[in-house]
Chains A and B, each alone.
Chain A
Amino acid sequence: MSAAAGPAALPRPAQVPAPPRRLPGTWTVYRWEVRKLRSQKRAYLGLGIAILIPLLFVLALTLRHGPGPDVAFGHYVRQSGLAIPLVLLIFGSVWLFPLISALVAGDIVASEDHNGTLKTILTRSVDRGRIFGAKALVAASYTFLALLVMGLVGVAAGGLKSGLHPLTTLSGSRVSVGRGFVLMGAAALVYMIPMLAVTSIALMLSTVTRNSAASIVGTLMISLVLQLITILPGLGGARPYLLPEQFNAWQGLLRIPIDWGPIGHAAWVCALYAVPSLVAAYLVFLRRDVAGG
């Protein structure tokens, strides 16, 4: 501020209050949250993992002869590239997708708090609720994007490895490539149901702990502990209500006729995880003291 030319003239402030104007909506905040995410390395780290895993899987298939993995669709990975993303959905539920989701959802509030930028955006003309809503939407969008990227890379790599041939369903019948793509898209949408629950948990941890690392690790720990409970003897009765089980609901789409039961079940079970997490995060965000930074 000491340049020879001198600073520019200051605008004279309005002497009367400006007429009330529309406050920016959630969509405005969402667009800026996306722009911020695009500028952060962690966003690319998650997407990089989503690209790398299918490539590694196909590489492993190429290097190793014999049948595919012993999971649903595992035996068909050498018959049709369409089976490969479906197998990845099964493997990814254990830690991969929870990790990718948590990378962003677990960081999206905590990092703002840690860096002090929360006070920057909260002292502008946006209500806290809209900021939270936009952050939740961005976290969900990112999770979906990662799923989409992995699916597309899986199909591309699988197509190169095994070709795009009709897909054998879990009922044993074969569906055309076109229908196979439709079913894969639908499977991804159903897979998003438990993923949204994981995202909500990560968002809640991010809001409550104000610590990115704790939120990311915490989300993974919760995911792994729930996985552990599903295999503990004596807790079989709890399995249908555990989050990891809901990651298999999409398989109902790959039966003929389609089995909607697991999908409906997953929807309400996941809501039991997601809604309290989101409500808790929302209330904490709305009422929190922004004392840091």
Chain B
Amino acid sequence: MRLPPQDPDAPVRAQELSKRYGDVQAVDSIDLRVEPSDVYGFLGPNGAGKTTALRMLLGLIRPTAGSATLFGRDPLIHGARALEGVAGFVEAPRFYPYLTGRKNLELVAALDGGGSAERIDSALDVVELRDRARHKVGGYSHGMKQRLGIAGALLRNPRLMLLDEPATGLDPAGMRDMRQLIRRLAEAGMTVLLSSHQLAEVEELCNRVGIIRSGRIVFEGSLQDLRAGSGTGYRLRTTDDARALAICQSRPDVEEAHAAGDGLRLRAGTQAAAALSIALAQADIGITALIPETATLEDLFFRLTEGDGAGPTLTGEPGGGPGAGDQDRGEVPVGGPPRQEQPV
């Protein structure tokens, strides 16, 4: 599969990016591409390499191999210039606890060149921290620090925002507010790279995702493609499930079939499902229900990030879209086989 020519000045582009710590391969030759106005979800279990990858993007960590560019500029080559138009934080945002919230923002504004100092009040208004700006950050709650981190990022008037699990540690209201804020950032035209393991958050906010597992990208593409590539699942109820299962298992166009609860679960394409219904009718087996089931992001996430990696494949973006970010790899392997109790 050939992918279209890539924009070298894409907001985020990583090629063969790797990081090794001694014997541990934290990030293993990953390719990422975030397009303008994407809200890109960077998904993976704890320890999968998300934060290490983000740190490399921001120039905080030197890659062992490969390269990362932000709007075409490599932090290792262009230094602070590579971060022009880029803001965000990795892990929790950190500030000086002995300075007030406002002083902290004045500090980072000064380190941005001073021009952003005039935006401090509006940034504090956006995150609704203006009333507490005179208090020392040491007394802030976790959520307030997260919001101050966002305010600090907004000072840069960024075109690209990198957020590493911004909702971590927040209470439900704080998580909701953070999602609303990210949605507003996206609506304002900002490109957002959101690292998270909050699947609902990613499903709600993101148009594209990259899923990392043990330092390797196992899927990159749109959520739609992720679901499409997983195959369609069906729940089947018949008048004779035992015989129906035997027929399903005998048909090569049914990828998988097993008994589950009060019926059968199977994975098959639309045409295969239609052919199966005819075959069942011809065998005098009545179909009481044939219900298509779409896998949730959570199902897909677990399929991709658990197991031994020898399972089926998911197509990133058919037709040469930005699926895998790798021109020689149109299809990417996914994790182990589907779990028994999940929709297929």
Contacts and interface: CB of A to CB of B under 8 A. Distances in A.
Nearest to A36: B96
A39 B99 contact: yes
A287 B92 CA distance: 23
A280 B144 CA distance: 38
Contact of B128 (A3, A29, A36, A293): A3
Contacts of B178: 1
Given A8-B122, A117-B94, A1 B180 contact: yes
The range of chain A's interface size is 35 or more
A13 interface: yes
A7 to B, nearest CB: 5
Nearest to B184: A10
A117 B96 contact: yes
Contact of B115 (A15, A21, A124): A21
B181 A7 contact: yes
Interface in A208-264: none
A65 interface: no
Contacts of B119: 11
Interface in B133-167: 147, 152, 154, 156-159
Contact of A123 (B89, B110, B114): B89
Contacts of B71: 17
A14 B98 CA distance: 33
B249 to A, nearest CB: 50
B310 interface: no
B68 interface: no
A125 B94 contact: no
A160 B110 CA distance: 45
Contact of A20 (B81, B108, B125, B188): B81
A11 B188 contact: yes
Interface in A2-25: 2-3, 7-15, 17-18, 20-24
A291 B61 CA distance: 7
A36 B137 CA distance: 13
B62 A125 contact: no
Contact of B79 (A1, A11, A17, A127): A127
Given A1-B127, A11-B122, A36-B99, A28 B110 contact: yes
B60 to A, nearest CB: 4
A32 B88 CA distance: 21
A39 B188 CA distance: 37
B248 interface: no
A3 B180 CA distance: 13
Contact of A293 (B91, B111, B122, B154): B91
A1 B60 contact: no
A287 B62 CA distance: 8
Given A15-B189, A122-B60, A1 B157 contact: no
A171 interface: no
A32 B110 contact: yes
Contacts of A9: 126
B167 to A, nearest CB: 12
A119 interface: yes
Contacts of B93: 120
Contacts of B126: 7-10
Contacts of A96: none
Interface string B94-109: 1111110001000110
B240 interface: no
A23 B113 contact: yes
B84 A18 contact: yes
Contacts of B84: 17-18, 20, 125
Interface of A: 1-3, 7-15, 17-18, 20-24, 28-29, 31-32, 35-36, 39-40, 115-117, 119-128, 287, 289-291, 293
24 contacts: A1-B147, A7-B181, A7-B184, A10-B188, A12-B188, A17-B84, A18-B84, A18-B85, A24-B110, A24-B114, A29-B111, A36-B96, A39-B96, A116-B92, A119-B58, A120-B95, A120-B152, A121-B108, A123-B83, A124-B108, A125-B111, A125-B113, A287-B62, A289-B55
Given A7-B128, A39-B98, 15 more contacts: A2-B173, A11-B119, A13-B157, A13-B158, A14-B157, A17-B84, A17-B159, A28-B110, A36-B107, A39-B96, A119-B60, A120-B152, A123-B60, A123-B83, A127-B79
